[in-house]
Structure 1
Amino acid sequence: MMLLLCRFASSCRIGSSLCRDMKAVRLHKFGGVTNFQIDTIPVPTHSEDEVLVRVRAAGINPVDTYIREGAYAILPKLPAILGKEVAGVVEEVGSNIDNIKKGDRVFGCLLDGGYAEYAVCKKNHVFPLSEKLTFSQGASLYVPYFTAHRALINKCHIKAGETLLVHGASGAVGMAAVQIAKAKGVIVAGTAGTVEGMEMVKQLGADHVFNHKEKGYLNNAVAAIGGQGFDVVVENLANVNLGADLTVLNQKARVAVVGSRGSVEVNPRSLMMTESSVIGVMLMSATEEEHLEAAEEILKGIEEGWVNPVIAREYSFEEVGDAHHDIIYNRGARGKLVFIV
């Protein structure tokens, strides 16, 4: 894959605003990874209610690939900088913000714009990054942990003592779900597709771990929790697993669909028998109150030590094609993929 690699332009300052250029990965056409270019463009400007962050790491997520392909409900205007989460150092602070200062380590939540050396974050969407975490871990907090929180807390209202199945627990959202659930006193069974992934899920605290490539693994999972079925399921690949999920539910169970790459056939009688619910989860649909609630919980978890993102691989911008391939086609996820900037 050929990428256009541009050199940095000189930098300058006028008052308190930057007038330097930055390097960014931009999508010029929807479709394959060859439509990415590494461009040199002006550093974005920020308003009085925003923070300019010098990005040190940017999260890579499956949703980025859907947007790149033009297969997502909300598509950006082209050319576009993708990426919904970053971590870095505050470069400039808007005049209406008094709880963040220049030089602070932060992580930020974005609509798009993370694949760049600088990103602008709204004041309620940028949070302090503890010294306990690296920048790569900071860039792994928003999409995985806020999604898992929305699925478990806002949508499924999971409670201590309930049983949870995390289908795909070795991926970024799956790992976050395991950590949040264990912090809430939930009994967790997780699945992974490799020995290494299974071991990682065990280390995160899952009570039971199974290989979802082995025949009969769901029956074994149900037996491990006493045979009553699961109260909650977090499903990362619904087009493959949802039909089977519905056969291993307890009464009034909740299935949170956080990922799907196609259609699936299910038997509705499975839901009728248990009076269970299937709930779609979309992070971007969270209210501001829910967003801040999740942030408070994640920040608390960082300080208490149970929020601990696992990094599978770090990429350079020049490896954007590899990154987008790996996040979809690399079998046996073992954590989060990020760009180092």
Structure 2
Amino acid sequence: MAATRNVMRAIRVFEFGGPEVLRLQSDVLIPDPKENQKGDRVFTIDTISGGYADYAVAAADRVFPLPDKLDFRQGAAIGIPYFTAYRALVQKGRAKAGETVLVHGASGGVGIATCQIARAYGLKVLGTAGTEEGMNLVLRNGAHQAFNHREANYLDKIKACAGAGGVNIVIEMLSNVNLAADLQLLSCGGRVMVVGCRGPIEINPRDTMSKESSIIGVSLYLATEEERRACAAAVLPGLEGGCLRPAVGRGYALPRAPQAHSDILGGAGAAGKVVLLP
């Protein structure tokens, strides 16, 4: 008699394309953890076997203990959002208490994490969202003021709120749309942290010269192990203490992963971290 194989469901991609190329397979072998690939209650910033699956293997240096007060849905909303937010705001953005930060696209997972961290670090926090629901979510999660980036004059409102000094830091989730405008909002020595981008954009470099401002790309995957540990050392106490609270948005069963991608790309606006469910 043939031995029974231990199999799981997983999303696999065999070609380039839109969300339709994400295909559910039900006969994928469950990965077998090797040395230094833990089985503890953890959250991760990266997997070896792929995260769109019933089971996943991750290296020991890519996982961190999940606080007991948080469930696995919340755990799925910690690693990349909060570590990216901390890297953009503190490690690369050099944020200081008393500065003003604009989170451009604040209602998604990284945006909410940035608002919470910035508020905890004593910054004046401004956030944008595309819906009333998103704006209220941003306000509940650390922002002092929220703006609807679908309004024609929202940039004028941000300028008025920031005052004559301007915005010290912009955390930018859609730089291919907003980068040129971001440069107009900055203070002298201000910096735009490019966290998200979906294509090219034309800017005038003189806008950086006039204020000696900076455009800085952010990639969590280029962080050193020391930098990842610094992220964890900053984020974990906040999660334990309650000042950092993962905001879980829509949940999709694993077979609906293509729909999740379609909704993100074409939806009206984010409202917390989108997660895949068992």
TM range (shorter): over 0.9
Report the 3-state secondary structure (helix = DSSP H, G, I; strand = E; otherwise coil) of the residue aligned with 2:235.
Answer: helix
Whether the aligned pair in 2 keeps the contact of 1:10 and 1:21 (CA below 8 Å) is no
Report the 3-state secondary structure (helix = DSSP H, G, I; strand = E; otherwise coil) of the residue aligned with 2:58.
Answer: strand
Q: Which has the higher strand share?
A: 1
Q: Which has the higher helix share?
A: 2
TM-superposed CA distance for 1:131, in Å, is 2.4
Please give the residue correspondences for 1:321-336 in structure 2 after superposition, counting only pairs within 5 Å. Answer: 321-336=258-273
Amino acid at match of 2:31: P
Report the 3-state secondary structure (helix = DSSP H, G, I; strand = E; otherwise coil) of the residue aligned with 1:241.
Answer: helix
Whether the aligned pair in 1 keeps the contact of 2:47 and 2:56 (CA below 8 Å) is no
TM-superposed CA distance for 1:42, in Å, is 1.3
Quote the RMSD (CA, aligned, Å).
1.6
Report the 3-state secondary structure (helix = DSSP H, G, I; strand = E; otherwise coil) of the residue aligned with 1:140.
Answer: coil
Whether the aligned pair in 2 keeps the contact of 1:24 and 1:117 (CA below 8 Å) is yes
Please give the alpha-carbon distance, in whole angstroms, between the structure 2 residues aligned to 1:244 and 1:32. 29
Please give the alpha-carbon distance, in whole angstroms, between the structure 2 residues aligned to 1:259 and 1:202. 22
1:109 paired to 2:45: yes
Whether the aligned pair in 2 keeps the contact of 1:145 and 1:176 (CA below 8 Å) is yes
Whether the aligned pair in 2 keeps the contact of 1:162 and 1:187 (CA below 8 Å) is yes
Please give the alpha-carbon distance, in whole angstroms, between the structure 2 residues aligned to 1:164 and 1:34. 37
Which ranges in structure 2 are unaligned for 5 or more consecutive residues? Answer: none
Please give the residue correspondences for 1:164-183 in structure 2 after superposition, counting only pairs within 5 Å. Answer: 164-183=101-120
Report the 3-state secondary structure (helix = DSSP H, G, I; strand = E; otherwise coil) of the residue aligned with 1:127.
Answer: strand
Please give the residue correspondences for 1:133-152 in structure 2 after superposition, counting only pairs within 5 Å. Answer: 133-152=70-89
TM-superposed CA distance for 1:46, in Å, is 2.1
1:190 paired to 2:190: no
Indicate the residue corresponding to 2:233 in structure 1.
296
Normalising to structure 2: TM-score of the pair?
0.94
Indicate the residue corresponding to 2:181 in structure 1.
244
Q: Per-residue displacement from partner, 1:168-216 (whole Å, max 9, x unpaired)? A: 0111111111011111101011011111110111111211111111122
Mean CA deviation greater in 122-131 or 237-246: 122-131
Normalising to structure 1: TM-score of the pair?
0.77
Change (3 A) 1:274 1:27: same
Whether the aligned pair in 2 keeps the contact of 1:108 and 1:142 (CA below 8 Å) is yes
Which of 38, 42, 47 does residue 29 from structure 2 map onto? 42
Mean CA deviation greater in 291-300 or 231-240: 291-300
Please give the alpha-carbon distance, in whole angstroms, between the structure 1 residues aligned to 2:232 and 2:219. 16
Amino acid at match of 1:191: T
Which of 221, 242, 261 does residue 158 from structure 2 map onto? 221
Please give the alpha-carbon distance, in whole angstroms, between the structure 1 residues aligned to 2:19 and 2:188. 45
TM-superposed CA distance for 1:30, in Å, is 2.0
Q: How many residues align?
A: 275
Mean CA deviation greater in 232-241 or 21-30: 21-30
TM-superposed CA distance for 1:248, in Å, is 0.9
Indicate the residue corresponding to 1:155 in structure 2.
92
Report the 3-state secondary structure (helix = DSSP H, G, I; strand = E; otherwise coil) of the residue aligned with 1:120.
Answer: coil
Amino acid at match of 2:171: V
Report the 3-state secondary structure (helix = DSSP H, G, I; strand = E; otherwise coil) of the residue aligned with 2:56.
Answer: strand
TM-superposed CA distance for 1:32, in Å, is 3.0
TM-superposed CA distance for 1:111, in Å, is 4.6
Mean CA deviation greater in 35-44 or 170-179: 35-44
Amino acid at match of 2:74: Q
Amino acid at match of 2:122: G
TM-superposed CA distance for 1:312, in Å, is 1.4
Whether the aligned pair in 2 keeps the contact of 1:222 and 1:228 (CA below 8 Å) is no
Report the 3-state secondary structure (helix = DSSP H, G, I; strand = E; otherwise coil) of the residue aligned with 2:204.
Answer: coil
Report the 3-state secondary structure (helix = DSSP H, G, I; strand = E; otherwise coil) of the residue aligned with 2:32.
Answer: coil
Whether the aligned pair in 2 keeps the contact of 1:10 and 1:20 (CA below 8 Å) is no
Amino acid at match of 1:128: P
